[in-house]
Amino acid sequence: MSKRINVALIVGDIRDVYSNSVTKGAMRAAHESDCNLLIVPGRYFQARKELLYEEYEYQYQTLFTYFKEKNIDIIIACTSVVGIVSGSMSRNSLNEFLKNLKDIPVITVSGDSNKLPNICYDNKAGIKEGMEIMITKQKCSKIAMVAGPKENLDSIERVEAYKEALIEHGRPVEDRLIIHCDFTEKCMFDVINLFKSVRGIDGVVFANDRMAIGGYEAMKELGLRVGRDVSFMGFDNIEKDINLDPPLASVVADAENIGYEAVNMALDYLTFEDDEDRIIPTHFVMRDSIYLGSGDVVNLQPHQFKITPSTDFDTFAKQTFLFIYNPTINNANRDNIYRAYLYFILEIEKLYRNERVTKDLLTSLAQYFNKLFDTDERSEIDIGKFTILMEMVKECIMDDTTSKIKRNIIVNISAYVYRRLASILSLRESNENYKLKKIQHEIYRISADMIGFEAVSEKNYASIISNFQKIGINHSFLYLFKEPIKHGIDDKFSPDEFVYLKAMQINDRVFSPSDREQMIPVSEMFDFAFSKMELSGHLVMLNLYVRDVIYGVLVCDIPYNIFSYYESLIYQVSCAIRILHLLMFTEETSNQLKESLDIITKNNLRLDELAKQDELTGIYNRRGFYIESDNLLKEASSRKKYIMVGFADTDNLKTINDTYGHDEGDEAIISSSNILSSTLGERGIIARMGGDEFAFVFTTNDREEEKLFFDDFEDNVRKYNEESDKEYRLSISLGMYVYEYNDSINLKELLESADREMYHIKKKRRMKEENS
């Protein structure tokens, strides 16, 4: 078998939306093309201390020094995101980087070197399209531009598009309306200063969506309303856009596609010497940040597939499948999913074309729908987009039928579909949360397990990676230097000629190479790792360091779905190596060991606290409630006479969600939590048990305190509604149960009693409202 091509992909932080999407697309292309992909999240080409997010983050840039002509065939460099926090990648730092690569071919993504093949977005079309709407329809007269760093190619082209749009509409270009910032939310402060220095700005074009998010915060500070007082548009169309208030109009730039095409471009360059630049098209998406009531064109996209009597449903299935399908890295299930989807759509055709709906048709429709979602892992289908598509289908069928019976059947079918989709989505989230908790637990065990060794030796390195398969890593290679290297931000870094393979994992087997087998030339380290993989795949290169000391690198096939944990993995493996070094080499470093253990202990304590906390409200969750309540009751056993247990829920939450949106529903839950917490004060434990339900417990010697609590609670609810500017009144049902303390307390039974009390109160209130 001929040697596979090794492609290196240089990106920024793979947790970042753009770098993450580029990487996913590149992984998919590498899988389809049977080439190896080395992912290098280097973050910086040339870091500046004053702009780092973390003090020792500059260590990531040392990853680029391992590239050799023998171990990498071609490099794809995302120069627009690597080094972005340091003021973007300057031409000098790019040239310095390229000089070190010597004879390795390089393709840039949104690069600014005219000498290299480049793939980039069409930065101009989408911006001009959006600005035309701002100028001609919204009548914006003074539009500002919040651009990226001055030397960044994307930023330069987006500023050019902004200027050209103004000139094409006979508007002057004012330099004072153009500011340059980092591509992050930190531009908020520059935006505030811009609005204070220039009066009358009624429109802003942001060079990316993260900057626009910072702009939203700036408007809050200035007391201005996006979509009313000032029009906003961004660039990238990230997921957060539709959740902003109001949703952000943006330019759709498919980062996943640019990663996919970059790999294909790299392979064409090697195979055919094709060095032509490539441009990925973009288009503008209208949303309410331009002006309220404009709607969301993305959500309306399926309406172009409107069903009519002349619709070819085979073609309809092919087109709409592209809308609802979210491709995975290997697309292994695509054909099976499409086949199930096609059969489902053909049943929809029967429903559309027949006025009489038979029981057999309803049965087969349900069967094909269930087959389409026949596994919990069927995450390739986007539930949100599928729901939008089904709503469109429902509207088309309802419009084209005059049968009341058929209309009623369609309504019932839709209700069934939506219930099933909600159930599937809930199950997906539950399964995903469970998996992530297990992954988190395994990662945090890595360094903690180092402490329990009775005898310390080189073989202990294998234990660091011994549980990697539990988190989805099937291949890992722990390459360390002969001695750790001290590296400061201003120091030039060069790895040793050789690295030492201290441990290696292949699926469920972990190896500790002998001293003779450990030494591997840097020029062969990637080929060696890829040669241990039966199929082509990806490896991620992770720098192992603690502060200013670098130990080596971990090369592993960390799955895409846990990229968000890669920094935790680096931290835990690095700490484990540091602890192992300290244990093996010297007793004199006990203070350093204690420092490492303290850091880990504090992190683990913090994790334990987070595990007991409800993310939305900040109070305890169900787990935290039972743990802390148990402690409270033990402490009060000899001092208090009564236990008071309460159960409450937020009334009409579904109505609030349906009428005002889920963000407002979350606000109602938070407000309910605040009212209950302020009523309880410091005397007990309160928790959100799930959804809109809350529980609390406290102890007292005064039996009358139950009535006082109820009075305070009702007073707090009344005050909240009097002071609230909400369009609805917040209502909370509360039930309490008082129990005389004894040793046979069962907290769950007390909660059930309080829950029954709450139910009776809620029922009485409903009857009273119906009779009034």
**Residue 54: alpha-carbon gap to chain centroid:** 21
Residues 349 and 470 in one domain: no
Residue 90 has pLDDT above 60, yes or no: no
688, 616 Cβ separation under 8 angstroms = yes
Per the domain annotation, does 209 fall within a domain? yes
Residue 143 has pLDDT above 90, yes or no: yes
Per the domain annotation, does 710 fall within a domain? yes
Find the Cα–Cα–Cα–Cα dihedral 131, 133, 137, 140, rounded to 10°.
-20
Mean per-residue pLDDT for 611-625? Answer: 86
What total number of domains does the chain contain?
Answer: 4
747, 629 Cβ separation under 8 angstroms = yes
pLDDT in tens, 272-330: 888 888 988 888 888 889 875 544 333 334 445 678 888 899 989 888 887 787 766 66
Per the domain annotation, does 296 fall within a domain? no
Residues 126 and 250 in one domain: yes
Mean per-residue pLDDT for 638-655? Answer: 86
DSSP letter (8 states) at residue 46:
S
513, 504 Cβ separation under 8 angstroms = yes
Other Cβ atoms less than 10 A from the Cβ of 43: the count is: 28
Select from 731, 727, 697, 699 the least CA-distant residue to 713: 731
Please list the residues that pair with 226 across neighbouring strands: 230
CA distance 534 to 95: 37
Please list the residues that pair with 649 across neighbouring strands: 693, 733
Residue 394: C-alpha distances to residues 55, 224, 312, 532 (Å): 55, 40, 17, 52
Mean per-residue pLDDT for 101-125? Answer: 82
Residue 425 is predicted with a pLDDT of 76
728-749 burial by CB neighbour count: b if 16+ within 10 A, else e? eebbbbbbbbbbebeeeeebee
Residues 347 and 465 in one domain: no
Residue range of the domain that includes 250 = 121-256+274-285
User: For the domain that residue 564 is a member of, what is the CATH number?
Assistant: 3.30.450
DSSP 468-510: GGGGT--EEEEEEEEEEEE--TTS-----SEEEEEEEEETTEE
Q: pLDDT category, 451, cuts 50, 70, 90?
A: low
Find the Cα–Cα–Cα–Cα dihedral 226, 231, 235, 236, rounded to 10°.
40
Residue 592 has pLDDT above 70, yes or no: no
Sheet holding 249-252, edge to edge: 178-180, 143-147, 203-206, 231-236, 249-252, 283-285
SS3 739: strand
Select from 179, 143, 148 the least CA-distant residue to 162: 143
Residue 651 CB contacts under 8 Å (≥ 6 apart), including other chains? 731, 732, 733, 762
Per the domain annotation, does 416 fall within a domain? yes
Residues 630 and 709 in one domain: yes
Q: Looking at the whole model, is its pTM more than 0.75?
A: no
Token pair listed for 655: 């109505």
Percent of all residues in the chain with a pLDDT value above 70, rounded to a whole number? 86
Residue 587 is predicted with a pLDDT of 47
Element of type H or E holding 431 = helix 404-448
Q: Which position has the higher pLDDT, 538 or 452?
A: 538
Residue 247, preceding peptide bond in cis (omega within 30° of 0): no
Q: pLDDT category, 95, cuts 50, 70, 90?
A: low
Residue 66 is predicted with a pLDDT of 87
529, 517 Cβ separation under 8 angstroms = no
Maximum mean pLDDT: which of 11-20, 100-109, 307-316, 425-434: 307-316
CA distance 42 to 480: 18
Residue 131: C-alpha distances to residues 144, 150, 192, 198 (Å): 11, 21, 22, 20
User: For the domain that residue 213 is a member of, what is the CATH number?
Assistant: 3.40.50.2300
User: Parallel, antiparallel, or unpaired for β 693-700 and 684-690?
Assistant: antiparallel
Per the domain annotation, does 113 fall within a domain? no
DSSP letter (8 states) at residue 649:
E
Per the domain annotation, does 653 fall within a domain? yes
Other Cβ atoms less than 10 A from the Cβ of 703: the count is: 12
Please provide the distance, in angstroms rounded to a whole number, between the alpha carbons at the two ends of the chain.
84
Residue 593 has pLDDT above 80, yes or no: no
Select from 637, 765, 649 the least CA-distant residue to 696: 649
Q: pLDDT category, 608, cuts 50, 70, 90?
A: low
Q: How many H-runs (helices) and E-runs (strands) does the chain carry?
A: 22, 22
Select from 712, 706, 715 the least CA-distant residue to 735: 706
Residue 518 is predicted with a pLDDT of 93
Residues 591 and 636 in one domain: no
Select from 418, 302, 319 the least CA-distant residue to 369: 418
DSSP 255-317: HHHHHHHHHHHHHHHHHH-----EEE--EEE--TTTSTT---TTTTGGGGG---TT--HHHHH
Residues 591 and 634 in one domain: no
Residue 704 CB contacts under 8 Å (≥ 6 apart), including other chains? none
Residues 697 and 752 in one domain: yes
DSSP letter (8 states) at residue 245:
S
pLDDT in tens, 193-237: 999 999 999 999 999 999 999 999 999 999 999 999 999 999 988
Per the domain annotation, does 98 fall within a domain? no
**Which of 208-217, 354-363, 424-433 has the least mean pLDDT?**
424-433
Please list the residues that pair with 109 across neighbouring strands: 119
Environment class of 567 (CB within 10 Å of its CB; exposed 0-12, middle 13-18, buried 19+): middle
Residue 605 is predicted with a pLDDT of 64
**Which of 86-90, 227-231, 358-362 has the least mean pLDDT?**
86-90
CA distance 412 to 408: 6
DSSP letter (8 states) at residue 230:
B
Residue 86 is predicted with a pLDDT of 38
Q: pLDDT category, 457, cuts 50, 70, 90?
A: confident
CA distance 393 to 387: 10
Interior CA angle at 392 toward 374 and 408, to 5°? 85
Residue 585 is predicted with a pLDDT of 65
471, 439 Cβ separation under 8 angstroms = yes
Per the domain annotation, does 561 fall within a domain? yes
Environment class of 2 (CB within 10 Å of its CB; exposed 0-12, middle 13-18, buried 19+): exposed
Residue 150 is predicted with a pLDDT of 85
Token pair listed for 615: 């993310």
Residues 487 and 413 in one domain: no
- Give the amino acid at 559: P
Residue 259 has pLDDT above 60, yes or no: yes
Residue 159 has pLDDT above 50, yes or no: yes
Maximum mean pLDDT: which of 209-213, 609-613, 621-625: 209-213
Residue 89 is predicted with a pLDDT of 47
Residues 638 and 561 in one domain: no
Residue 260: C-alpha distances to residues 5, 27, 324, 409 (Å): 16, 7, 19, 44
SS3 766: helix
CA distance 495 to 270: 28
Residue 304 is predicted with a pLDDT of 54
Residues 236 and 312 in one domain: no
CA distance 657 to 661: 5
359, 270 Cβ separation under 8 angstroms = no
669, 651 Cβ separation under 8 angstroms = no
Maximum mean pLDDT: which of 169-178, 181-190, 236-245, 286-295: 169-178
Element of type H or E holding 250 = strand 249-252
CA distance 673 to 687: 8
Residue 649 CB contacts under 8 Å (≥ 6 apart), including other chains? 691, 692, 693, 694, 732, 733, 758
Residue 642 has pLDDT above 90, yes or no: no
Residues 471 and 570 in one domain: yes
User: Parallel, antiparallel, or unpaired for β 684-690 and 549-556?
Assistant: unpaired
732, 656 Cβ separation under 8 angstroms = no
Residue 330 is predicted with a pLDDT of 64
Maximum mean pLDDT: which of 87-101, 308-322, 410-424, 471-485: 471-485
Residue 149 CB contacts under 8 Å (≥ 6 apart), including other chains? 84, 87, 88, 155, 180, 181, 182, 183
Average pLDDT, the chain: 84
pLDDT in tens, 41-61: 987 665 555 455 566 778 888
Residues 566 and 661 in one domain: no
**Which of 93-97, 119-123, 295-299, 703-707 has the least mean pLDDT?**
295-299
